[in-house]
Structure 1
Amino acid sequence: MSVAEPRRIVLFRHAKADWPEVSDHERPLAERGRKDAPIAGRKLADSGIALDLALCSTATRTRETWKLAVSELPERPRTVYEERVYEASPGDLIAVLNEVPDDVTNAVMVGHNPGMQGLAEVLAGDSAPDAAQRLSRSGFSTAAFAVLTFTGPWKSLEPGAAKLVDYWSPNA
C-alpha cells in the first residue's frame, strides 16, 4: 500500500450500556445495545470498507459491542484491545492512531464519548455536508460510527488532516 493512497478511519462508539452497580469500566451492554450493535455491524458491512485493524477499548461495553458488530462483517479484521482508548482525549486517541502500521489501509476504533465525537471533530478539516449535518443532529449517539479519510502515513495523522465522509447512527 502506498502512503499516497487514501486511508479510512472508522470511529465507532459503543452501543447503549447498562448502569448496574459495577465500575464504569465493567459496565455491560443494555438490551438496546445488544440489539443495536449487530445493526451497526451490518451497516458497516454495507459500507464496503474492508477493515484491516480494529482498535477496541478494553471496557466491557466496547468489547461486547465489537463482538456483536464484527460478526456481521464479511471478514474479521485483526483486533487489538487497547487500554489507552478508554477515557481518552482526542489527542490521546490520535497518538494511538499514529502508531498504526502503514500496511493498514482501513482501521476502526471502538471507543467512548466524548472521545469519539471529539476525535471526529478534531480530525475533520473538511466534511461532506450531509455527514456533518447527521453527526451534528445526533451528537454521536451510541452504536454510531463516523468514517473519515486521509492520505499519508498514520504517523502524520493530526488535527484537520482528514475528511468526514460518512456518519451513521441507529437514531438517524
Structure 2
Amino acid sequence: MKTITFIRHGKSSWDYQVSDLDRPLKERGINDTKLVAEEFKNSGYTVDFIYSSPANRALHTSMIFTRVLDFELNNFKVRKMLYDFSGESVLKFIKSIEDKYHHILIFGHNYAFTTLVNTLGDTYIENVPTAGLIQIEFDIHNWYALQKGKTIKTILPKELR
C-alpha cells in the first residue's frame, strides 16, 4: 500500500517584483497552512518522506508542515521536477520514488495538483485551493506501478477557519 498526500502551497503574494520562483507567502497563506498542518497532525498519519517544489511559496509551506509535524529534515528533499504546472513532471517524479517509502507528502502547484488528484483519485475535486490537502491511497507495492487510487482525506483551509 502506498499513500500520497498532495499539498498545494499556501496563498502567495504578488506584491513584490520578484520571479515566480521567489514569490513569498501572504500572511493568510501562512495561517491557512498552519491550520491544515495541525488538522493533518491530529489525523495521526505517519509520513516517510516529504518532497517540495523549489518555489519559495511551496518550500515555505512545506517548512510550516515539517515544524508542526516535528518531522525529521533528513527525510526531506527539494525536487525541481515538482515545479510543474501540468502534472506530467510530478507524475514522472512519483513513479521514480524509492519503494521503501510508503507515505509521502508532496508540496507543489496547480494546475498540476488538481489534474493529478482527479486523475489518480476517485473523488472529483474542482480545484485544489491554496494550502489544500488531498490524500490518495494506492493498492500497489511499487511506485512505478502507480494506478488509480482511493481519495481518503481532504483538508481545505476554508473548512477550518
| 1:60-139 alignment runs, 5 A limit | 60-76=56-72, 78-124=75-121, 126-127=122-123, 132=124, 135-136=125-126, 139=127
Which aligned segments of 4 or more residues in structure 1 are displaced greater than 3 angstroms? Answer: 74-77
Amino acid at match of 1:171: K
Amino acid at match of 1:170: P
Q: Shift in Å at residue 41 of structure 1?
A: 1.2
Give the structure 2 partner of residue 54 of structure 1.
50
SS at match of 1:171: helix
Q: Shift in Å at residue 89 of structure 1?
A: 2.2
Give the structure 2 partner of residue 8 of structure 1.
3
Post-superposition Cα deviations, 1:124-153, rounded to whole Å, max 9, x if no partner, equal: 2x33xxxx4xx34xx211101000000221
| 1:36-55 alignment runs, 5 A limit | 36-55=32-51
SS at match of 2:137: strand
Q: Is the 8 A contact 2:51 2:76 kept in 1?
A: yes
Corresponding residue pairs, total: 156
Q: Shift in Å at residue 74 of structure 1?
A: 4.4
Give the structure 2 partner of residue 3 of structure 1.
none
Give the structure 2 partner of residue 163 of structure 1.
150
Q: Identity of aligned pairs, percent?
A: 25
Determine the C-alpha separation between the residues in 2 that align with 1:145 and 1:122.
16
Distance 1:22 1:63, change over 3 A: same
Amino acid at match of 1:165: I
Amino acid at match of 1:46: N
Give the structure 1 partner of residue 22 of structure 2.
26
Q: Shift in Å at residue 87 of structure 1?
A: 2.4
Q: Which runs of 5+ in 2 are unaligned?
A: none
Q: Which runs of 5+ in 1 are unaligned?
A: 1-5
RMSD: 1.4
